[in-house]
């Protein structure tokens, strides 16, 4: 996506005029909080409610929070005397669409203008930031993916969607609207930064990166995980964005700030990570730096498993998690041109990585020693070996930021040499 999530430890200001278009979805309630978050940062906020949005939030509530008149009707006589929809489209610094429903995205992509919201979006020459929210199957539907690609090509910025539970009982996946703080921070980035990715060796390319661990629940308080901090994956995402790429970072649970200029999808489990990666495709490059848990509990407990004196130790039955690297590397026409995996090993580092590259059908494997003596997990330095079909190149010990820059540089050079387009 062209939008970003930024560190929640930083509160950027939005000291400009924002027009918030609220679409008709249950996530509309989050948009009321978004009004407050934007005003906290100094923004003047005006609101357009679609007809469907008024089934979830009222003009009175939006007006009370924004301290501005709320607009709902394209054919409002008083407004249209002053060419109201044109004035709304131009008399702002940024338009935010939140929630951006599947229907609203489809109308935007096809240039419809049959209500106030779509007329404003068609008439504007200002940057637009969309925060999608919909059922996971709607988000992954080919029509929606096609509409999003068209909107990205048109210059629309995106934030989210995130992974999580839906409003519908038993529904979960990629489709939750980004939180109000995330949208406010993305708005600050769009307003304060360049409106497009910087020029660089990966300009015009899409890079998908995984980072961090996954957490596989045992019960509501316990889980199976790896020790990954996410530092290397996040560093690669930052380096790819700095090289001009459009970056989608699929991150497991980490305590790191989101890299600037990067669209971040936050997940918990391996299954969620695979779903998010598949949704993010197609891409030119896919880099799998996450330390995905190899196994999950077949049936996690709904309540905390209690330790009772004299009782037997509980037995956990494990199932193998999906292999994200292999599923993407072997997937046919939507396979990225360059697929790079990571191999975290404690012994026989290079031989294991060479075997992994062949078995998983990866183009490159970045192998690193994660034995206790290496201090790689959680540390700031890394010693890696780049394993390709041509051979093995061992890099000297260096910071994870330097590893990231070097890897991105070589990936960009590979793409340029092969003249690959998606």
- Residues serving a catalytic function are 226
Q: 94: number of CA atoms within 13 Å, CB side?
A: 28
Instruction: Return the number of other C-beta atoms located less than 10 Å from residue 351's C-beta.
Output: 13
Largest Cα span, the chain: 81
Q: SS3 of 324, please?
A: helix
Rg (CA), the chain: 23
CA gap 261, 4 in Å, rounded: 5
Q: SS3 of 382, please?
A: strand
Sign (positive or negative) of CA dihedral 133, 136, 137, 140: positive
**Listed residue (111, 105, 114, 95) closest to 48, CA to CA:** 95
**Listed residue (128, 212, 132) closest to 173, CA to CA:** 132
Q: 372: number of CA atoms within 13 Å, CB side?
A: 0
- The CA–CA distances, whole Å, from 270 to 92, 95, 248, 267 equal 42, 35, 17, 8
């Amino acid at each position: 996506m062209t939008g970003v999530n930024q560190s929640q430890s930083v509160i950027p200001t939005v000291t400009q005029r924002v027009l918030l278009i609220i679409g008709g979805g249950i996530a509309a309630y989050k948009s009321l909080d978004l009004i407050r978050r934007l005003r906290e940062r100094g923004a003047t906020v005006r609101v357009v409610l679609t007809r469907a949005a008024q089934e979830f939030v009222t003009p009175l509530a939006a007006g009370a929070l924004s301290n501005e008149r709320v607009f709902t009707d394209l054919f409002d006589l008083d407004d249209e005397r002053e060419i109201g929809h044109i004035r709304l489209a131009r008399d702002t610094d940024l338009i935010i669409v939140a929630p951006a429903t599947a229907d609203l995205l489809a109308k935007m992509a096809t240039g419809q203008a049959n209500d106030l919201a779509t007329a404003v979006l068609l008439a504007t020459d200002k940057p637009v930031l969309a925060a999608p929210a919909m059922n996971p199957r709607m988000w992954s539907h080919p029509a929606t993916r096609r509409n999003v690609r068209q909107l990205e090509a048109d210059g629309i910025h995106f934030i989210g969607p995130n992974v999580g539970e839906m409003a519908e009982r038993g529904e979960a996946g990629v489709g939750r609207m980004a939180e109000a703080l995330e949208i406010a921070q993305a708005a600050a980035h769009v307003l304060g930064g360049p409106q497009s990715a910087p020029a660089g060796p990966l300009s015009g390319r899409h890079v998908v990166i995984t980072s961090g661990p996954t957490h596989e629940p045992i019960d509501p308080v316990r889980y199976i995980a790896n020790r990954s901090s996410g530092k290397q994956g996040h560093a690669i995402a930052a380096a790819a964005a700095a090289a001009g790429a459009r970056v989608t970072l699929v991150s497991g649970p980490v305590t790191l700030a989101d890299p600037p200029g990067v669209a971040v999808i936050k997940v918990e489990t391996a299954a969620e990570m695979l779903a998010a990666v598949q949704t993010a495709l197609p891409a030119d490059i896919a880099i799998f730096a996450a330390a995905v848990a190899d196994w999950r509990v077949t049936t996690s407990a709904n309540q905390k498993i209690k330790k009772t004196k004299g009782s037997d130790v509980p037995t956990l039955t494990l199932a193998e998690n999906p292999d994200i690297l292999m599923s993407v590397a072997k997937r046919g026409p939507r396979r990225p041109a360059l697929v790079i995996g990571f191999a975290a090993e404690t012994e026989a580092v290079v031989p294991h990585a060479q075997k992994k590259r062949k078995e998983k059908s990866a183009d490159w494997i970045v192998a690193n020693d994660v034995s206790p003596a290496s201090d790689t997990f959680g540390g700031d330095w890394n010693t890696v070996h780049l394993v390709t079909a041509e051979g093995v190149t061992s890099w000297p010990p260096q910071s994870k930021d330097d590893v990231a820059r070097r890897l991105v540089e070589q990936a960009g050079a590979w793409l340029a040499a092969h003249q690959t387009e998606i």
